[in-house]
Amino acid sequence: MTTKRCRISDIPLHTFLDFGPQPLGNGFLNKKEFENEFFYNMSVGFSEESFMVQLNDQPKPEQMFHDQYAFFSSTSNRMKKHFENFALDVLNSGYLSGSTPFIVELGCNDGIMLKNFANKRIKHLGIEPSRNVAEEANKNGVQTISDFFSESLAELIVQRYGKADAFLAANVMCHIPNILDVAKGIKKLLKPSGVLMFEEPYLGDVIYKNSYDQIYDEHVFLFSLHSIEYLFNLVDMELINAIPQTTHGGSMRYVLAHKGAHRVNSSVDQLMGKEKVQKLDKLSTFIDFGLKVEKSKNDLINLLCDLKSHGKTIAGYAATSKSTTILNYCKVGLDLITYISDTTPIKQGKFSPGMHIPIVPHESFISNPPDYAFLFAWNHSDEIMAKEKHFSENGGKWITHVPKVGIL
Ligand code: JHZ
């Protein structure tokens, strides 16, 4: 394999994990598409200069985000509540100038966050490259354009709508390979007192929980404060706050502004210190992580094979993007998992990427419960456990791989 270079610092990357051939994380498909299914080699590298953990290769953005995109944010009630609170935090942050702020959100999906501004008649704009999801946002009353964000799109937005008070994103920035161009665009789009607030799965949690399933095609980066500071320093912006979140198995909300525009909160220094203790700036951490991932894979295969050899039935719960990595890396197929239940209509009746396990509606899980359910949406565990009390009360058991492979 040729050595890849860091997308930010341009120095050679150190590869520490190789998952082998992987399909698209959200590439749910029909039987007739099996033959020509797309695979790429998924390996992960670290830059000792920018501290950025990143995929060596990523499929083209247009292959992942299009008019049949399968992930709709509003499938989780907890996430709806979370984005309602995020919107309130923005409104109460004290960073918005004047009485008529302008809010822009990158990757607004079905409008889960912006509708909280739209409902209050606050000037807003969503940017969402997946056309089917953008249409849903517009239907939800959120003004949305379907495009990929870039420095040139930022210039157009400034011309047409003016500069923004807040630029928001959630579970989006880590998807974007040309992130430096996006950072330049944000810099141009923000008012002098404007802020960038975004949250993404946090590298520190991924390492701590061994949640390697956060690595898939869409997540070209796994961010830390170290890497975000490095990246935005290049466009003369600085971290002014960082707030840990419990969503998606552990995320971080980053708040950034033009250098010197706002006071830097003490949490930035505290969390940077914590990252140093966890050694998120050192290659050795990721080499250790690679070994733990390999062990997790072997433990999972042993557990599933053991249950099967005792005649147990196993089904997957929630066809998450994350499950694509687990299933394909551990080579878990129909011989071990009979079906995956999911509430998203566009995924139902299709097959899982790569391993081709049927995706069935949630009703099938209720009418035909397995002995064991593999909790692929472990990040929504509280919501799911509350919903599936009946399954547990009737002897159904849950399998997890986070932080360790086992039965819950
Ligand atoms: P969930 C998505 O990842 C995709 P995924 C994306 N790339 C990203 O960055 C991350 O989020 C952060 C189903 N479900 O949220 C619905 C049930 O069936 O873990 C969805 O198909 N029953 C943008 O896909 C899937 O789970 C339920 O009760 O890993 C959502 O998975 C619940 C709560 C969910 O994200």
Give the pLDDT confidence of 188-217 residue by residue, as tens digits: 999 999 999 999 999 999 999 999 999 999
> pLDDT of 210-234, one tens digit each?
999 999 999 999 999 999 999 999 9
| Banded model confidence at residue 70, pLDDT cuts 50, 70, 90 | confident
Q: Is 171 in the pocket of ligand 1 (CB under 6 A)?
A: yes
Residue in 225, 250, 251, 222 with CA at minimum distance from that of residue 240: 225
Q: Is 47 in the pocket of ligand 1 (CB under 6 A)?
A: no
> pLDDT of 83-112, one tens digit each?
999 999 999 999 998 889 999 999 999 999
Q: Is 87 in the pocket of ligand 1 (CB under 6 A)?
A: no
Residue in 190, 281, 191 with CA at minimum distance from that of residue 227: 281
Q: Is 230 in the pocket of ligand 1 (CB under 6 A)?
A: no
**What values do phi and psi take at 18, rounded to 5?**
-135, 115
317 CA closest ligand 1 atom index: 18
Q: Is 71 in the pocket of ligand 1 (CB under 6 A)?
A: yes
73 CA closest ligand 1 atom index: 15
Rounded to an integer, the average pLDDT of 289-304 is: 98
The pTM for the full model equals 0.96
Return the residue whose CA atom lies nearest to atom 10 of ligand 1.
Answer: 171
Return the residue whose CA atom lies nearest to atom 30 of ligand 1.
Answer: 320
Q: What is the pLDDT of residue 383?
A: 92
Q: Is the pLDDT reported for residue 155 higher than 80?
A: yes
Q: Is 350 in the pocket of ligand 1 (CB under 6 A)?
A: no
| Banded model confidence at residue 358, pLDDT cuts 50, 70, 90 | very high
Q: What is the pLDDT of residue 217?
A: 97
Residue 277 CA to its chain's centroid (Å): 25
For 53, the token pair is 């953990």
Helix (H) or strand (E) holding 123: strand 123-127
Q: What separation in Å is there between the alpha carbon of 171 and the centre of ligand 1?
A: 11
Residue in 160, 123, 157 with CA at minimum distance from that of residue 142: 123
Q: What is the pLDDT of residue 1?
A: 59
